[in-house]
Structure 1
């Protein structure tokens, strides 16, 4: 939603109503575009999950907004100002965008988790599914990755338990990953504040970093979701570069 010209103030309930996949427009995130008052970037961006809560980062949303802003001004590069920092993007194909998602954070206070622990072996006790060991880190928002293949049905049962586990004061994004080979990983994601999702850019970034740190993959990986894929590179400067395609832009009007 573009707030650079028109004043748009949505309540938490209005965000929930718009995002509702049965009664509303149906989406994982609502993104608000504002002018950058400091004029250091192309726009100030705020992300809201479908539960109405604000989130600091959204990888795929960042690609889509960057494409929108570049297309608007006929540019091939852009910068957006988010709660997690300034993200730089560039057009790498007609509808393909790369975004520098910054440097991953492994500090327990920054992820955050409630106490200092080995972030490579976080033991989560679940109801009816035993104890699972995951890798946790932040890529602008908190993630935990389990290198274990499970069904979507099981993810929908176990995802909410892990998202809301006492270890994560700000809740957590949950990914189950299957390493196919050194360059490919298949994932299923339970997204914080949105539930089961068909794609999550920050989860793709977090999974790539965790897999490489554990020696499971190279630093350039293709992350496969059910309906598409993202190319992730953990570069030499420690920044995560996410590349993927975007769809055509549709302008719509909503009566709220």
Structure 2
């Protein structure tokens, strides 16, 4: 099967995009995994764009392991820019499994997306048992094998757990992430973030993404981290979340809805056979 597709990224969080609005594209799990494999095309997530009569388009997100992702903030921002190139609308509304997400095209490859009101009840994360989601009291080990207890859990269309530590470099997300992602506590798995407060408006993070592993940036992790930081009284309503490749700016409005602003890349057309 010959496929015309596109590549985009938001702060290095990269995507293969297949536009199936005019012609349906059916892929099995093995084909999705192959497309995402960096020895073939390579990406953090595969995005399928589908026609929607009520909004600008519908999106399906697939992780690199072939599983479906409930939400993808950076991917949504990229598709908003992609569709803006067609219709030149300043506001793009996209339907996802997490609901309709509205994005504003700010120009100069900057896009802001409203992710919505986060969920914090244990059943909403979901957790396998009732717990205080503000402090799960999970034990992780730093690089010196010292124990650290914490973890705030938030659902922003997908489940997240965030640890706030004094020194980000003292924790290996590549070891901590996969262990917690598949923990029995998270029946739908989870995204794992280690965060360090730089100042009242700035957090630095490392992220292990559910179904994708280590990633240069994760939009929903930025949103979940900013909200978790606010409820833990570390930051306020506006926070810059710094990844290795740049910054996403997160704001929380009076309705408790989260907005994410950041850059997107140029659109690169690719063609391949699968």
Q: Per the shorter chain, which TM-score range?
A: over 0.9
Distance 1:72 1:188, change over 3 A: same
**Does 186-195 or 85-94 show the bigger shift?**
85-94
Q: In the aligned structure 1, how far is the partner of 2:80 from the partner of 2:123?
A: 30
Question: Matches of residues 154-173 of structure 1 in structure 2 within 5 Å?
Answer: 154-173=172-191
Q: Which has the higher strand share?
A: 2
Task: Give per-residue Cα distances to partners, 1:24-44, cap 9 Å, x unaligned.
Answer: 2111100000001xx110001
Alignment of 1:106-255 (within 5 A): 106-125=120-139, 130=147, 132-148=149-165, 149-151=167-169, 154-255=172-273
Q: State the shift of 1:130 in Å.
A: 4.1
1:69 is matched with 83
**What secondary structure does 1:67 align onto?**
helix
When the two chains are superposed, the root-mean-square deviation of aligned CA atoms in Å is 1.5
| CA distance in structure 1 between the partners assigned to 2:230 and 2:95 by the alignment | 28
Cα distance in 1 for partners of 2:47, 2:194 equals 26
Runs (5+) with no aligned partner, structure 2: 1-17
Structure 1 contact 173–189 (Cα < 8 Å) conserved: yes
* Cα contact 2:168–2:205 (8 A) shared by 1: no
Residue deviations 1:82-131, cap 9 Å, x none? 00000001111221111010000011111100111100111224586645
- Asked whether the equivalents of residues 193 and 205 of structure 2 are also in contact (C-alpha less than 8 Å), the reply is yes
Q: CA deviation at 1:159?
A: 0.8
CA contact (8 A) 1:126 1:161 kept: no
Distance 1:129 1:152 in 2: 10
The alignment status of 1:49 with 2:63, answered yes or no, reads yes
Could you tell me how far apart the structure 1 residues matched to 2:90 and 2:158 are? Answer: 27
Alignment TM-score, normalising by the size of structure 2: 0.89
Secondary structure of 1:206's match?
helix
Q: Which has the higher contact order (CA 8 A, sep 6+)?
A: 2
Q: What is aligned with 2:43?
A: 27
- 1:40 paired with 2:54, answer yes
Aligned residue pairs, count: 253
Question: Any gaps of 5 or more consecutive residues in structure 1?
Answer: none
Question: More deviation in 137-146 or 153-162?
Answer: 153-162
